[in-house]
Chain A
Amino acid sequence: MLYERVLRFLRDPAPDAFGALALEAFAFQFERIPAYRRLCERRGLHPGSVISWRDIPAVPAIAFKTLDLSAAPGGPVFRSSGTTSGSEQRSVHRNPYPELYREAVDRSFPAACLPAEPPVPILSLIPSSKILGDSSLSFMVDHILDRWSAPHSASAMTRQGLDTETADSWITTQIEEHPSEPDLILTTALALWQWMEHLERRGRTYRLPPGSALFETGGFKGRRRQIARQELLLKVEERLGLPAHRVVREYGMTELSSQFYTDALSGGDPDLFRAPPWTRARILDPRDLCEVETGRPGLVAILDLANLGSAIHVLTEDLGLAERGGFRLLGRASGAELRGCSLAAEELAAEELAAEGIAAEGSAKVSAGKSAKKQLDSIVED
């Protein structure tokens, strides 16, 4: 069965088998996903005519917001927080093969993120699946905690949001009682920012045990993104004693089943994401979807064999550039914006949502009086 062969490939990837397996997965999805078949046929492509994995048509990430792209029934349903442009519907990724997802985590997370041999004391600032049942990030974090966490690990994210006192007290205990055990903190950039602001307000400073690390995902939207990240890293160093080279960045999304990490813990470039062997990341020119030269910016396209249950080839909304066997992120496709006599795409899109009776959950624009659920959604936004 194809599923089992993909699973075996994730466990033991033979480099020369990737292309053939990708083409088989393409045929599988062409057969089972009507919308995808339609896209391929419009391009004059079918399994018999595609001879390289590079030519497998990519599914735009925003299509997950409106189309059912599942190749098989069952499995968990993941939904995005839908906030990247503060608008629109949420992406829905039906994942009939969660074992592939777990296997992808097992084969990539430990080497990139664990600061020591497991079990590792982990503090999570990411909501668990009990709080956000449809978040792929929460699914992943649950799995990480199950698999590699020490018994005295903790979560500081509640239904009401970040529990800063729990986070502070956990760190204090770790430093006092387990000073030689490296800790791992799992967090989104936004939750981390909140925590650092809290520590700053309280004038609290910690020094995590030597060798500790931090897993950071998500980011800040808009033009302040890079500035905010640098500020955040400075705050982390100042408040937790954790230098930037102990911060691993993760790149993942609801529409994919695999994750990409930077090599920070092994001394690599802290902003260069590496593709695991069952994936390929390419940078495409949005004008013609051809691959751009190394070092030139374009749209990030990911071929992810672990996405056998939906679309293995996804055209993301992220901009990046390829470099030395990895890629860097540069920003995101703009939202559907009106730049008319002024611009407020989010607001207009929220009008669209309201018209459709869809709550603008997680909208970055929702601030005053937003519910805890919405706060959590915005914390886990990718």
Chain B
Amino acid sequence: MAFLGSQSTALRRIPDHELLDSWVATVEAFSDPRSPESRALRPALGPSIGLSPGGLEAALGAILGGVGKLPARDMIRRAGAFPKDPRKPALVFLAGNLPALAVQPLLPALALRRPVLLKSPSSEPRFTPAFVAALARRLPAAANAMAVLRWEGGDVRIEAPLLAGAGKVLAYGDSDSIADLRSRSPAPVLGYGPRISLAVLGAGIDPETVAEGLARDIALFDQRGCLSIHGIFTLGDPEALARALEVALEELAARWPPGPARLEDQAAARQEIETAHLQGLRVFELPLGHGAVLIDPEARLKISPGLRIVRIFPVADLETLPQRLAPWQDRLQGVAMANADSLLSALKALGASRIAPPGKLQHPDAAWHNGGISPLEALG
């Protein structure tokens, strides 16, 4: 960590335009399936992250699209307003559920000229080292200011000196892991903990148009993201929406086929669907993994078991929705919203950090305040 810290000066010597050009070139290389980087990485990345080739392309498109030229330029420019003092390295613990997640903390760290050590997740160890190596080739002056390591999370002997040397600690993980890190880290630990996302549809929406976007927000990342939709509250006809959603999910299953699901996830999904039948819910069921839509009049947000299973909650009014969602205070992440602008401030007050039209929810850019936290403030 001391060596990484010593690279802060070298980072500060890199002109903004060099950083931007190198970053954009690297992001574009990893976005282009024909690039040498992509051809080397993709065949192994899909299976290791559990996404199909089509699903992986869509996932990489969504994440890398958010850190492309315009958002990167904007972030580097805004980072200029932060103090220029030498910075101790950032230590970032990455989660393994999404591909390419490393770019989200890496860009602001470099924009702020803060050296960074990324802990690659054991379950997906490929993307981060490949990306950092490719960026280092394009930007040799930053090569020694970025490091990627992999170890068994929670290993105190390894982590103690790293935590002691870190100026900032970011942790994507479960709450126990974050709490554990907080108990051991001298530096503040910023935790990106578990959150849930949903959709709210007001009156007068066209089910088919909305369903197409909702299906993308459900199916992207095979519903594993914190911006993946678990439930849809609607004022409109739930049956019409469910039918349209079933069709849209089926179409997406052809474009973004589901990845190889774990048996335990399939088992949980099957339990959920069979129980819905027993409960007398309307169930629109596609082959397991392609999706299922359950109409649940109880209108109480529930966590989906995944595999693109979503509940539609018909509601008579939207005014009571903040009250219904109150138990999820500070656990809400994103809301796909259509014709429900009156709820904007109430949903933000509940902690929703991203509100977007259906189909756009899972496409935040680099400026997104994940969990309500500015990425530059997080590392600044």
A-B residue pairs in contact (CB < 8 Å), sample of 12:
A35-B278, A62-B272, A63-B274, A67-B279, A287-B288, A315-B270, A341-B225, A342-B174, A342-B191, A345-B303, A348-B331, A351-B327
- Kindly state whether residue A326 has any CB partner on chain B within 8 Å: no
Which of A74-82, A101-109, A177-185, A331-339 forms part of the interface with chain B?
Answer: A331-339
- Asked if B264 and A67 sit within 8 Å, CB to CB, the answer is no
- Kindly state whether residue B173 has any CB partner on chain A within 8 Å: yes
Q: Report A217 CB to chain B, min CB distance, Å.
A: 21
Q: Residue-by-residue, is B274-292 near A (CB-CB < 8 Å gives 1, otherwise 0)?
A: 1101111000000111000
Q: List chain B residues, Cβ under 8 A from A333.
A: 264-265, 267-268, 270-271
- Asked if A60 and B278 sit within 8 Å, CB to CB, the answer is yes
- Asked if A340 and B268 sit within 8 Å, CB to CB, the answer is no
Q: Report B332 CB to chain A, min CB distance, Å.
A: 11
- CB within 8 Å for A332 and B174 given contacts A342-B192, A343-B194: no
**Complex CA–CA separation, A203 to B115 (angstroms):** 49
- Asked if B269 and A337 sit within 8 Å, CB to CB, the answer is no
Known: A342-B97, A343-B194, A344-B175. 6 other contacts (CB 8 A): A59-B274, A59-B278, A286-B263, A288-B288, A340-B195, A341-B194
- Asked if A337 and B306 sit within 8 Å, CB to CB, the answer is yes
**Complex CA–CA separation, A343 to B228 (angstroms):** 13
- Asked if B304 and A347 sit within 8 Å, CB to CB, the answer is no
Q: List chain A residues, Cβ under 8 A from B195.
A: 338, 340-341
- Asked if A317 and B194 sit within 8 Å, CB to CB, the answer is no
Q: Report A33 CB to chain B, min CB distance, Å.
A: 9
- Kindly state whether residue A289 has any CB partner on chain B within 8 Å: yes
Tell me the dominant secondary structure on chain A's binding face: mixed
A-binding residues in B (CB < 8 A): 95, 97-98, 101, 172-178, 191-197, 224-228, 230, 262-272, 274-275, 277-280, 287-289, 300, 302-306, 326-328, 331, 333, 370-371
CB contacts under 8 Å to B, within A45-71, are 58-63, 66-67
Most chain B beta-carbon neighbours within 10 Å: one of A334, A341, A348: A341
- Asked if B277 and A340 sit within 8 Å, CB to CB, the answer is no
- Asked if B370 and A341 sit within 8 Å, CB to CB, the answer is yes
- Asked if B262 and A334 sit within 8 Å, CB to CB, the answer is yes
- Kindly state whether residue A168 has any CB partner on chain B within 8 Å: no
Q: List chain A residues, Cβ under 8 A from B333.
A: 340-341
Chain B residue with Cβ nearest A354: B327
Q: List chain A residues, Cβ under 8 A from B268.
A: 317, 333-336
Which A-B residue pairs are the 10 nearest by beta carbons?
A340-B226, A355-B327, A333-B267, A341-B226, A344-B194, A344-B174, A286-B266, A286-B270, A333-B268, A336-B303
Chain A residue with Cβ nearest B287: A287
- Asked if B327 and A348 sit within 8 Å, CB to CB, the answer is no
Chain B residue with Cβ nearest A33: B278
Chain A residue with Cβ nearest B195: A340
- Asked if B192 and A341 sit within 8 Å, CB to CB, the answer is yes
Q: List chain A residues, Cβ under 8 A from B275.
A: 60, 62-63, 66-67
Most chain B beta-carbon neighbours within 10 Å: one of A61, A340, A349: A340
**Complex CA–CA separation, A63 to B279 (angstroms):** 8
Which of A6-14, A20-28, A36-44, A133-141 forms part of the interface with chain B?
Answer: A36-44
**Complex CA–CA separation, A340 to B306 (angstroms):** 11
Chain A residue with Cβ nearest B193: A342
**Complex CA–CA separation, A352 to B325 (angstroms):** 10
CB contacts under 8 Å to B, within A287-341, are 287-289, 297-299, 315, 317, 319, 330-341
Q: List chain B residues, Cβ under 8 A from A315.
A: 270-271, 274
